[in-house]
C-alpha cells in the first residue's frame, strides 16, 4: 500500500472544480473572503506596515501585499498577508485540526494565481480546497500537539507546525505538478515544519504572529523544490511530525478522503481574540444584553473555563497580542466597550481603568465546561456587583458564524465583521465590491481580487 502522502497527492492532483460539491464551493468562497478581509484588516498594525515596506523593497515582485498598495515576490507577499491576517487573531479556524488551515493556504495560492500569465479562477479555488484538506487532515493526525494537555507547559502553537504541508500541496496543485511532484511537496512540507511556541502569546512576544506567514513562504519554496526534482522521506508526515504530537494517528490523513470535506467543518470567528476566550466573551455579552453593567460598580468577576483556557491569565497585558490571549483583559474590555472587535484589543483599549478591572477577574479551572466535541469549550461567568448582586451566564461553546443558515443570518454576522475590518482601509464602496468578488472567486480573476484589496 502506498504511504499516506501518495494517497493525499493522488487526491489533490485528481481534484477538479467540476467534481466539488456545491456546499464545498460555497464554503470555500466564504473562506477566501474571510481570509482576505483579515489580511486587509491586519495591515493597519504598525509592525505589519513596516514588514510590508521592507519586504516590498528587498524582495521585489508583482504579487500584492493586500491593503497597502505595495507588491513583492509571491512568497514574500503571501508571508506578509498571512502575518497580517493572524496578527488580529480573527481568521478562520477548524476545531478538528485545532488550528487555522485557511491562513496557511489562501495567501500563498492567491499570490501564485495573481502573477500567473494564464490565471484560472477555478484552479485557484480548487487549489485552496485541496490545500485546506491536506492541512486539516495533517492537523488532525497531530492532535493533540505535544505539551498541550500537560499541567506544566503548553509548548507547541498550532500555527506553523502542520500548516506548511497544506501550503506546499496547494501551491503544487495550482502549478500543475504531477502526482509524484505533489507527493514530494507534501513530504518535504512536513520536513519544513516550525517548532512554534505557545508561550509566545501568553508572554506577548509577537514572533507568534509570523508563524503562519513563515509557513506560506516555506510552503511555496517546498513546492519549487519538488518541481525541480527534490525528494522527501516516505511517510514524511509521520516521521517528521509525530515528534510534535502526544498521540500521532495517521488514520485521519486519508480516512473518508473526498467524502468528508474538512473545509465545511471550520468556523468563522466573530471576536478579535484567541478562540479560547470566545465563550467567556459571549457569556459577558449575554449578561450585558440582559443586565446593563456599570463597570464602576463591578466588585469581582469569576470565570470558570477548561484547562487550556485557564492558561490565558495575564491581568495586565503589555501589547495587542498579549491582550488577545488574556481572559481577564477580554472580560474587562468587553464590559467597558460592549464588543470584542479590533479596537477593543488595540493599544488604546489598555486604559488604566480597563486594566484595573481586569485585575478583578479570577480564572477557575473546571472540566465540566468542556464538551466532548472538538472546539466545544464553554465558560461560566459570574459578575458580582458592589451591591452584592451576582449576575451569571454560561455558554457551552463559542457562538461562531459557522454555517450559512437558510435565512442568511450567519453570513450577515460574518459580513459585519468583514466590514469593520476592511472599510477603514478601502472605504465602503470598494469593501462591498471586494466582498462580492471574493465571496464568489471563480467569477473574478485572482489579479482582480488583489486589485480590489488595494486602496485607490
The pLDDT tens digits of the residues spanning 160-184 come to: 899 999 999 999 999 999 999 999 9
Long-range contacts of 149-152 (CB under 8 A, 24+ apart): 149/246, 149/307
The reported pLDDT for the residue numbered 409 is: 64
> In terms of C-beta density within 10 A (0-12 exposed, 13-18 middle, 19 or more buried), how is residue 429 classed?
exposed
- Indicate whether 411 pLDDT > 90: no
> In terms of C-beta density within 10 A (0-12 exposed, 13-18 middle, 19 or more buried), how is residue 21 classed?
exposed
Lowest average pLDDT, out of 3-7, 152-156, 249-253, 275-279, goes to 152-156
Q: Using 50, 70 and 90 to split pLDDT, how confident is the model at 372?
A: confident
**3-state percent helix, strand, coil for the chain, nearest multiple of 5:** 55, 10, 35
275-395 and 4-265 share a CATH fold: no
HSE of 19, CA atoms in CB hemisphere, 13 A? 14
Residue extents of the structural domains in the chain = 4-265, 275-395
- Asked: is 4-265 a CATH 3.40.718.10 domain? The reply is no
1.10.10.60, 3.90.1530.10, 3.60.20.10, 3.30.1330.120: CATH of 275-395: 3.30.1330.120
What's the whole-number average pLDDT of the chain?
A: 94
The residue among 9 and 398 whose pLDDT is bigger is 9
- Indicate whether 430 pLDDT > 60: yes
pTM above threshold 0.85: yes
pLDDT tens per residue, range 214-225? 999 999 999 999
| Residue 94 three-state SS | strand
pLDDT tens per residue, range 18-43? 999 999 999 999 999 999 999 999 99
Q: Which residues pair with 395 in a beta bridge?
A: 379
Amino acid at each position: 500500500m502506498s504511504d499516506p502522502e501518495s494517497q493525499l497527492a493522488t487526491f489533490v492532483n485528481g481534484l477538479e472544480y467540476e467534481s466539488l460539491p456545491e456546499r464545498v464551493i460555497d464554503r470555500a468562497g466564504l473562506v477566501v473572503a474571510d481570509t482576505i478581509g483579515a489580511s486587509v484588516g491586519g495591515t493597519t498594525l504598525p509592525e505589519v506596515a513596516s514588514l510590508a515596506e521592507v519586504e516590498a523593497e528587498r524582495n521585489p515582485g508583482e504579487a500584492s501585499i493586500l491593503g497597502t498598495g505595495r507588491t513583492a515576490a509571491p512568497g514574500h507577499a503571501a508571508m506578509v498577508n498571512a502575518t497580517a491576517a493572524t496578527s488580529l487573531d480573527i481568521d478562520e479556524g477548524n476545531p478538528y485540526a485545532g488550528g487555522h488551515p485557511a491562513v496557511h493556504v489562501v495567501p500563498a495560492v492567491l499570490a501564485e494565481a495573481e502573477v500567473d500569465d494564464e490565471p484560472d479562477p477555478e484552479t485557484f479555488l480548487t487549489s485552496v480546497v485541496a490545500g485546506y484538506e491536506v492541512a486539516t487532515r495533517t492537523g488532525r493526525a497531530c492532535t493533540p500537539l505535544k505539551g498541550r494537555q500537560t499541567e506544566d507547559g503548553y509548548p507547541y502553537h498550532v500555527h506553523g507546525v502542520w500548516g506548511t504541508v497544506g501550503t506546499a500541496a496547494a501551491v503544487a496543485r495550482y502549478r500543475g505538478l504531477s502526482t509524484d511532484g505533489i507527493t514530494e511537496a507534501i513530504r518535504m512540507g512536513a520536513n519544513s515544519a516550525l517548532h512554534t511556541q505557545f508561550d509566545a502569546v501568553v508572554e506577548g512576544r509577537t514572533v507568534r504572529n509570523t508563524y503562519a506567514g513563515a509557513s506560506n513562504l516555506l510552503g511555496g519554496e517546498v513546492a519549487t523544490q519538488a518541481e525541480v526534482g527534490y525528494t522527501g522521506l516516505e511517510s514524511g508526515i509521520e516521521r517528521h511530525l509525530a515528534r510534535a504530537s502526544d498521540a500521532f494517528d495517521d488514520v485521519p490523513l486519508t480516512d473518508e478522503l473526498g467524502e468528508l470535506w474538512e473545509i465545511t467543518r471550520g468556523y468563522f470567528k466573530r471576536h478579535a481574540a484567541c478562540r479560547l476566550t470566545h465563550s467567556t466573551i459571549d457569556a459577558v455579552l449575554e449578561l450585558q444584553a440582559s443586565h446593563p453593567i456599570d463597570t464602576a460598580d463591578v466588585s469581582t468577576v469569576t470565570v470558570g473555563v477548561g484547562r487550556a483556557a485557564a492558561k490565558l491569565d495575564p491581568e495586565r497585558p503589555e501589547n495587542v497580542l498579549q491582550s488577545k490571549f488574556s481572559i481577564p483583559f477580554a472580560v474587562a474590555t468587553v464590559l467597558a466597550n460592549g464588543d470584542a472587535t479590533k479596537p477593543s484589543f488595540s493599544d488604546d483599549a489598555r486604559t488604566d481603568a480597563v486594566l484595573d478591572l481586569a485585575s478583578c477577574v479570577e480564572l477557575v479551572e473546571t472540566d465540566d465546561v468542556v464538551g466532548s466535541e472538538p472546539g466545544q469549550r464553554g465558560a461560566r461567568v459570574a459578575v458580582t456587583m458592589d451591591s452584592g448582586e451576582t449576575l451569571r451566564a454560561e455558554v457551552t461553546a463559542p457562538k461562531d458564524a459557522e454555517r450559512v443558515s437558510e435565512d442568511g443570518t450567519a453570513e450577515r454576522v460574518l459580513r459585519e465583521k468583514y466590514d469593520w475590518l476592511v472599510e477603514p482601509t478601502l472605504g465602503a464602496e470598494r469593501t462591498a465590491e471586494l466582498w462580492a468578488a471574493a465571496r464568489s472567486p471563480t467569477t473574478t480573476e485572482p489579479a482582480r481580487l488583489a486589485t480590489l484589496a488595494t486602496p485607490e
